[in-house]
Structure 1
């Protein structure tokens, strides 16, 4: 990334309502600067060639090309910058191609405003925000999970909650499903994050799957 304290963000999304929604979220976020919101690959490549960018947030299927081309140019022009995919595409080959091109985050388009900003913060902190379904693809392609008996072990309750997280349950749904207090759910989740060195749900699910603590 550049030395600027506030990351300069380039948004590439051809769907007008979605692009405008993401742009509003980014414009309202005081810790980031949206330098451009592009609808075409051509416009995004022009921005990348003309000015510094710290973070590229890109769709993949575009009317004049593929978002992976933008990721590749970002890596060439701004090697310290980060790329995060936001797409409806979640097939194995697309996910792996985007990551091989240099994407370090991959969210599905159902991300809400809180998740979007949290993903950017996580990425800026050196992590890889990935939607749970994308984590499943990576774990599956990795083959046999790595079992780490020496690492911090999850309690049976924490394992149950983690399985619920992997299914996409909300805090309220987890509490009802496990017949526990709504207030105790975030306490368990905090402990899960600490034990797995995770910063969000997707990272926790991915790391637990990688270690063989849960099966997806």
Structure 2
């Protein structure tokens, strides 16, 4: 089976949807293809997804984790390395902590479970592109439990803000809450154009590359509390 594109205009947001279950794949495809703002390409296997990435990559990757010929974490890692600007969201039935943390650590920006699909998946993808990090409530609890369960760490670590400025802490908290860059700027009274610069500084100091990694690392180090 070759990757399938719906033929939407090139000006639309390019989405690569990777899902091996045909009914789920086409349900998501139809929900995303209805608005003219999306151009959706579908793939059912890891091999098809790799072929569909092309030379420029999609603007958004939506992927399952359990694929017939491999694990979605491999695809997430490869996509993040090749196309750093691609937004990546996992849509999976796998809710175990290992899968969740692995996907986030290699570059997933959002993670929702198939049994917790939002009623408007198109709106969720638009939020992702706008800078939000959609994460199912149960997945957020996984992340919190994981950070609280680190050996030798207190369940409620004291805040350690020495590595970041107060402004960076405020922005990091906004990222953790899923606010868009515009929301963060408005809340803090900043120019929208200055927020990406602060976020680059946060990434550099925490030695991370994505919002998901930044939030995980900040929680793990006790930089912020949710």
Q: TM-score range by the shorter chain?
A: 0.5 to 0.7
Give the CA RMSD over aligned residues. 2.7
Find the counterpart in structure 2 of residue 39 from structure 1.
44
Match of 1:91 among 96, 106, 126: 96
Q: Is the 8 A contact 2:131 2:179 kept in 1?
A: no
Find the counterpart in structure 2 of residue 66 from structure 1.
71
Match of 2:29 among 2, 23, 26: 23
Query: Cα gap change, 1:48/1:67 in structure 2, threshold over 3 Å: closer, same or farther?
Result: same
TM-score between the two structures when normalised by the length of structure 1: 0.63
Task: Say how many residue pairs are matched.
Answer: 154
Match of 1:135 among 123, 140, 144: 140
Match of 1:104 among 109, 117, 122: 109
Q: For structure 1, which runs of at least 5 residues remain unmatched after alignment?
A: 149-193, 201-209
Deviations 1:31-56 (A, max 9, x none): 2211x111111000011134531111
3-state DSSP of counterpart to 2:132: coil
Q: Is the 8 A contact 1:49 1:77 kept in 2?
A: no
CA positional deviation for 1:145: 4.8
Q: Is the 8 A contact 2:133 2:178 kept in 1?
A: no
Q: For structure 2, which runs of at least 5 residues remain unmatched after alignment?
A: 1-9, 149-154, 160-173, 181-223
Partner Cα separation in structure 2 for residue 147 and residue 121 of structure 1: 35
Q: Is the 8 A contact 2:118 2:124 kept in 1?
A: no
